[in-house]
DNA sequence: GAGCACTGC
């Protein structure tokens, strides 16, 4: 690189200016910081492109704007919505929850009224069942559960109180027994007709599994006195005298239209210690309605740890503890593992580590204590003084597994908890490379939500004699996946969690220390069938300072959809309601979410739902995704949009088998056929899946999860049902041609993705380079899984994304390259500005486009009209009729504009990006 | 150049 000097004699290399030579130390840093600020400032003002419209096109637009029939559409539009007929929608603006509940209770108080005939027939049914051999056989097993011995006590406390807290550890039987005690008691007393138990579970799998288990215990099939209800899948039990297990979200959805749960006699909230947002929400709602539903019994079930918190939340509701039953699990800590394996950490002493406060306060005194008692060798104590000893060390884990396999005669399975994909694949590689785990003697399963092993039945099977099963898993094996024959657990002590940082408006994925609850749960996985062992890879001192629980979800999450849920439940301004939650969210996070909802036009400035907000709140998906499908309906390209919406909101269907990263990427590129959009890749994947004669083979070829693909297909159908209910479409088939006139217009589909995902935009100040800067010039990076990550040339300098998360750096997970006009049409804060005699359009203050004044004016007018149209359409939902009338005229015109990708030219000013 | 886990009449 050539070296030059500028006029001041400072050296210059290429475009890199060196700091003036008199600067020293910190001043040099400040010099660069200042230069960066200036460059970013300049880049912020740099136009992202030039918008050129031909005279003929301008005339064409003007003609449509001037046409009288076009103006007629808007004659009736009013932004006050007073013209709306009475509807749930309008009431949602006017009512508050208490009124709605009162009204509901007046109408439906008869629903759980006693029915003597029904009582009698339910009673007879019950008597008959009790004499069946199946039932008797099961009762013998049930009586062994700790919960069974407390049956009378449990029934008494429920009878005498409206709210009861029942705690108990795994294996105590509370989940399967309590609901049955209640039901059987009512049936026995010939009051079956007024018993309807609703029991929530935080996960779909557990709702089904528990329902199946309970039905079996009652010697029945599902759908008789026991059933379940989860999204897109239900086996409802009989109307009265029954128990329904459902996911928490289902109850919350039910409460949207029936907040008093008027047809429920007992609400059991299970696993509330997990503190998911929906459970927290229901807890707060129940507090509001319990006086109005004095006949409703509420049973809160949690783990023992921290259960008083829930009792306190309900004015010291009585609390009952059921002792747990699992086989004893011997616990070991890092010091024991080091002693046992003789493991020595690779010396890293050359790097001088600052000893943390944690280290000096807890670890060092602990090591000194160990030295005094001489239980552990000197070597162990030296190792414990290594400040990195509690970091995840896969070599240590490898040695420990080898040691367990050699010394422990029991052939029970080994379950290893690690934090993520990388560790899991590295450890499996290390294990196979070590030569100590020959395939004839060991079955090794990596277990991660992205790995295909998740869907293999084999991991649940007990291996043949002489074979040992080893599972290397994330926290998926803590609660979601249960493998019964585990006898040894190795717990790395860390867990990856996402936190939302309101300050940077960004999700952060980072490993943390587990909580005691996690550590106990992991340990418990070793004692399901016989006594077991658990090795924690942190010191006993660390164990003393672990938190009881991780932060509740509501303190870790973006709050947009939480706020919309509160709005649709008519809870008024969010702040006072949030204050009533068991833990209130961070005010900063609330502000960020309110801001976005207002920018999306989902909330008014005084925090009321707009018609758009109402629809977005009704849709079971993130508001940005909801907006996308509403636009998809209006522009008649629903099928691709539904596929993309489902994949973004639910789950990326691509799997990642260990060591197949390159192959997966290759197949993705093949599937995308040159289209530079992860979103259109989802569309293509689903289209191929739906059209394939052999869906399983298709999934196998392209590394897609068959199960996820089926779920995505179901989701699309469900989204359609919602749109149908809202009257945006006429029937609920996603492929309905009426909703898909423009399905193959991929530019339109991308424009609509932009309409939904805005303001998640990333840009490049120069055309051709990856658009990986926020509009305020912060650096982002395309996640390597994105098909744009290896792209060499970018034909536009703007992309939209849905998911962004910070781990090592800020990663964009999914992206579509888009042209300026969709941003100009669907972005907010449109402005015409003039600077130094040049005219621009600016969007949200920091996205600029060069554009002549006359073009800018005509775009503005069309944009305004479109927004009016949209407002009208959203507040008067009805399918768009495509056939040359006024509606179609404006939509076609806009469609032409936002999809015409060759009309912009880019600013060719020389530009310094380094 | 790298992806904790859930969920919605």
Nearest nucleotide by C1' from A620 CA?
B8
pLDDT of A904: 47
Q: Which nucleotide is nearest to A616 (CA to C1')?
A: B8
- Report the C-alpha gap between A170 and A172 in whole angstroms: 6
Task: Measure CA to C1' and name the residue nearest B5.
Answer: A476
Q: Can you state the angle between helices A55-66 and A853-875, rounded to 10 degrees?
A: 40
A244 in Cβ contact with A198 (< 8 Å): yes
pLDDT band at A531 (very low <50, low <70, confident <90, very high): very high
Strand partners, A4: A12
Average model confidence (pLDDT) across chain A: 88
Q: Give the C-alpha separation, A771 to A800, whole Å.
A: 9
Positive or negative torsion for Cα A11, A17, A20, A25: negative
B6 C1' closest Cα residue: A203
- Closest to A648 measured CA to CA, from A799, A814, A798: A814
- Residues A214-240 as b/e (b if ≥16 CB within 10 A, e otherwise) read bbebbbbebbbbbbbbbbeeebebbeb
**The pLDDT value given to residue A194:** 94
Q: Provide mean pLDDT across the span A550-560.
A: 94
A467, pLDDT greater than 90: yes
For residue A82, the SS3 value is coil
Give nearest nucleotide to A205 (CA–C1').
B6
User: Nearest residue to B9 (CA, C1')?
Assistant: A254
Nucleotide nearest to A806 (CA to C1'): B3
Cα A173 to its chain centre, rounded Å, is 30
- pLDDT above 90 for A822: yes
Q: How far apart are CA A581 and CA A568, in angstroms?
A: 17
| Residue-level pLDDT at A16 | 55
Q: Tell me what pLDDT residue A444 has.
A: 94
* Spacing of A811 CA from B3 C1' in Å: 10
Protein A318 CA to nucleic acid B1 C1', in Å? 55
Q: Which residue is nearest to nucleotide B3 (CA to C1')?
A: A421
Closest nucleotide to A421 by C1' from CA: B3
- By C1' distance from the Cα of A423, the closest nucleotide is B2
User: A164 forms bridges with which residues in the sheet?
Assistant: A299
Determine the distance between A244 (CA) and B9 (C1') in angstroms. 13
Nearest nucleotide, CA A204 to C1'? B7
- Select from A642, A600, A508 the least CA-distant residue to A870: A600
Question: Where does the pLDDT of residue A88 fall: very low under 50, low under 70, confident under 90, or very high at 90 and above?
Answer: low
d(CA A363, CA A450): 36
Kindly state the average pLDDT of the residues A336-356.
Answer: 76
Q: State pLDDT tens for residues A592-627.
A: 999 999 999 999 999 988 889 999 999 999 999 999
The distance (Å) linking the CA of A124 with the C1' of B3 is 55
By C1' distance from the Cα of A419, the closest nucleotide is B4
pLDDT band of residue A59 (cuts 50, 70, 90) is confident
Q: Separation of CA A543 and C1' B3 in angstroms?
A: 29
Spatial distance from the CA of A423 to the C1' of B4 (Å): 12
**Stretch (H or E) spanning A816:** strand A815-818
For A546 and B2, how far is CA from C1' in angstroms?
29
Q: Are A720 and A642 in contact (CB under 8 A)?
A: yes
How far, in Å, is the CA of A744 from the C1' of nucleotide B8? 30
User: Cβ(A583)–Cβ(A554) under 8 Å?
Assistant: yes
Three-state secondary-structure class, residue A70: helix
For residue A879, what are the contacts with CB-CB under 8 A and spacing of at least 6? A633, A727, A728, A729, A730, A738, A739
- Judged against a pLDDT cut of 50, whether residue A375 lies above it is answered with yes
Q: Which domains does chain A have, with CATH numbers?
A: 108-322 (3.40.50.300), 329-345+389-538 (3.40.50.300), 346-388 (no CATH)
- Taking the C-alpha atoms of residue A50 and residue A37, their distance in angstroms, rounded to an integer, is 25
**What confidence tier does A71 reach under pLDDT thresholds 50, 70, 90?**
low
Nucleotide nearest to A207 (CA to C1'): B7
Half-sphere exposure of A99 (CA within 13 A, CB side): 9
Q: Is residue A186 over pLDDT 90?
A: yes
Which of A155, A159, A158 minimizes the C-alpha distance to A181? A155
Give A373 CA → B7 C1' in Å. 50
Q: How high is the pLDDT of residue A722?
A: 93
Phi, psi (rounded to 5 degrees) for A750: -65, -40
| pLDDT 10s digits, A566-598 | 999 988 899 999 999 999 999 999 999 999 999
- Reduced to 3 states (helix: H, G, I; strand: E, B; else coil), residue A244 is strand
**Strand B nucleotides where any atom sits below 7 Å of a protein CB:** 1-9
Q: Which residue, counting CA atoms, is nearest to the C1' of nucleotide B1?
A: A784
Choose between A358 and A669: higher pLDDT.
A669
CB atoms within 10 A of CB A510: 14
Determine the protein residue whose CA lies at the shortest distance from the C1' of B2. A784
Give, in Å, how far the C1' of B7 lies from the CA of A723.
Answer: 20
Share of chain A above pLDDT 70, in %: 92
In this predicted model, what pLDDT tens digit does every residue of A882-891 receive, in sequence order? Answer: 776 777 878 8
How many angstroms separate the Cα of A845 from the Cα of each of A110, A824, A832, A856, A862? 57, 12, 10, 15, 20
Provide the CA A629 to C1' B3 distance, Å, integer. 26
Q: How far is the CA of A202 from the C1' of B6 (A)?
A: 8
pLDDT at A876: 82
Point out the nucleotide closest to A654 (alpha carbon to C1′). B3
CA to C1' distance (Å), from A225 to B1: 54
Question: Can you tell me which residue has its alpha carbon closest to the C1' of nucleotide B7?
Answer: A249
The three-class DSSP label of residue A872 is helix
Residue A428 has pLDDT above 90, yes or no: yes
Residue nearest to nucleotide B4 (CA to C1'): A496
What string of H, E and C letters represents the secondary structure of A134-163? Answer: HHHHHHHHHCCCHHHHCHHHHHHHHHHCCE
Q: Which residues contact A767 (CB under 8 A, 6 or more apart)?
A: A49, A794, A795, A796, A797, A906
Q: What is the mean pLDDT of residues A57-70?
A: 78
């Amino acid at each position: 690189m050539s070296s030059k000097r500028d006029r001041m004699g400072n050296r210059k290399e290429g475009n890199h200016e060196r700091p003036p030579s008199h600067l020293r130390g910190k001043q040099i840093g400040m010099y660069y910081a200042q230069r960066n600020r200036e460059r970013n400032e300049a880049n912020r003002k740099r136009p992202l492109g030039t918008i050129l419209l031909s005279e003929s096109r301008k005339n064409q637009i003007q003609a449509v704007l001037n046409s009288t029939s076009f103006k007629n559409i808007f004659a009736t539009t009013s932004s006050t919505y007073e013209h709306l007929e009475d509807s749930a929608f309008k009431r949602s603006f006017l009512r508050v929850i208490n009124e709605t509940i009162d009204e509901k209770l007046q109408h439906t108080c008869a629903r759980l009224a006693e029915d003597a005939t029904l009582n009698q027939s339910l009673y007879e049914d019950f008597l008959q069942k009790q004499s069946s051999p199946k039932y008797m056989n099961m009762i013998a097993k049930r009586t062994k559960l700790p919960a069974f011995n407390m049956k009378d006590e449990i029934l008494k406390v429920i009878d005498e109180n409206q709210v009861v807290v029942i705690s108990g550890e795994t294996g105590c039987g509370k989940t399967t027994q309590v609901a049955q005690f209640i039901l059987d008691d009512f049936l026995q007393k010939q009051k079956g007709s007024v018993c309807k138990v609703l029991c929530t579970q935080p996960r779909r799998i557990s709702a089904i599994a528990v329902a199946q288990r309970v039905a079996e215990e009652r010697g029945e099939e599902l759908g008789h006195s026991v059933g379940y209800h989860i999204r897109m899948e239900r086996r409802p039990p009989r109307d009265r005298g029954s128990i329904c297990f459902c996911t928490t979200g289902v109850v919350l959805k039910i409460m949207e239209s029936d907040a008093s749960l008027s047809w429920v006699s007992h609400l059991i909230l299970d696993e509330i210690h997990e503190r998911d947002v929906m459970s927290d929400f229901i807890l707060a709602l129940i507090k509001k309605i319990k006086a109005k539903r004095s006949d409703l019994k509420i049973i809160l079930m949690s783990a023992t740890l921290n259960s008083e918190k829930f009792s306190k939340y309900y004015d010291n509701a009585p609390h009952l503890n059921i002792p747990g039953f699992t086989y004893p699990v011997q616990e070991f800590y890092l010091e024991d593992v080091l002693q046992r394996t003789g493991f020595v950490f690779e010396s890293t002493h050359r790097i001088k580590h600052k000893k943390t406060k944690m280290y000096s306060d807890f670890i060092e005194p602990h090591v000194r204590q160990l030295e005094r008692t001489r239980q552990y060798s000197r070597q162990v104590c030296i190792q414990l003084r290594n400040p990195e000893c509690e970091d995840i060390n896969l070599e240590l884990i490898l040695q420990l597994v080898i040691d367990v396999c050699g010394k422990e005669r029991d052939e029970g399975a080994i379950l290893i908890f690690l934090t993520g994909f990388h560790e899991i694949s590295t450890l499996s590689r290390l294990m196979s490379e070590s030569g100590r785990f020959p395939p004839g003697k060991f079955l090794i399963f990596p277990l991660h939500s992205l790995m295909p092993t998740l869907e293999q039945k084999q991991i649940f099977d007990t291996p043949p004699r002489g074979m040992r099963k080893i599972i290397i898993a994330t926290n998926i094996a803590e609660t979601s996946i249960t493998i019964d024959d585990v006898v040894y657990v190795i717990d790395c002590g860390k867990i990856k969690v996402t936190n939302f940082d309101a300050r940077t408006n960004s999700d952060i994925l980072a490993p943390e220390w587990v909580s005691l609850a996690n550590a106990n749960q992991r340990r418990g996985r070793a004692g399901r069938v016989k006594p077991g062992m658990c090795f924690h890879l942190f010191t006993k001192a660390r164990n003393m300072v672990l938190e009881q629980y991780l932060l509740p979800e509501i303190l870790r999450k973006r709050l947009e959809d939480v706020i919309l849920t509160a709005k649709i439940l008519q809870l008024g301004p969010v702040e006072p309601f949030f204050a009533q939650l068991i833990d209130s969210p961070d005010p900063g996070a609330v502000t960020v979410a309110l801001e976005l909802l207002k920018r999306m036009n989902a909330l008014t400035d005084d925090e009321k739902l707009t018609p758009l907000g109402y629809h977005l709140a009704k849709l079971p998906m993130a508001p940005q995704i909801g907006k996308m499908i509403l636009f998809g309906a209006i522009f008649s390209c629903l099928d691709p949009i539904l596929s993309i919406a489902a994949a973004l909101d639910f789950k990326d269907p691509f799997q990642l088998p260990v060591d197949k990263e390159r192959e997966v990427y290759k197949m993705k590129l093949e599937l995308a056929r040159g289209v530079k959009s992860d979103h259109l890749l989802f569309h293509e994947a689903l289209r191929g899946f739906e059209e394939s004669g052999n869906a399983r083979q298709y999934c196998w070829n392209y590394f897609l999860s068959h199960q996820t693909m089926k779920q995505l297909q179901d989701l699309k159908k469900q989204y359609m049902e919602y749109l149908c209910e809202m009257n945006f479409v006429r029937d609920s088939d996603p492929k309905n041609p009426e909703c898909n006139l423009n399905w193959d217009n991929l530019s339109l589909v991308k424009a609509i993705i932009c309409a939904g995902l805005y303001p998640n935009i990333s840009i490049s100040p120069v055309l051709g380079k990856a658009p990986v800067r926020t509009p305020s010039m912060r650096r982002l990076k395309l996640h390597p899984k994105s098909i744009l990550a290896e792209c060499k040339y970018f034909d536009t300098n703007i992309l939209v994304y849905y998911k962004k998360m910070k781990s090592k750096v800020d990663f964009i997970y999914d992206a579509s390259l888009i042209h300026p006009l969709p941003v100009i049409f669907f972005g907010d804060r449109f402005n015409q500005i003039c600077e130094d005699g040049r005219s621009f359009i600016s969007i949200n203050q920091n996205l600029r486009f060069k554009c002549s004044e006359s073009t800018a004016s005509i775009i503005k007018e069309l944009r305004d009209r479109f927004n009016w149209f949209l407002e009208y359409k959203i507040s008067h939902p009805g399918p768009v009729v495509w056939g040359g009338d006024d509606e179609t005229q404006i939509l076609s015109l806009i469609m032409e504009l936002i999809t015409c990708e060759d009309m912009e030219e880019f600013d060719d000013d020389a530009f310094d990006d380094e």
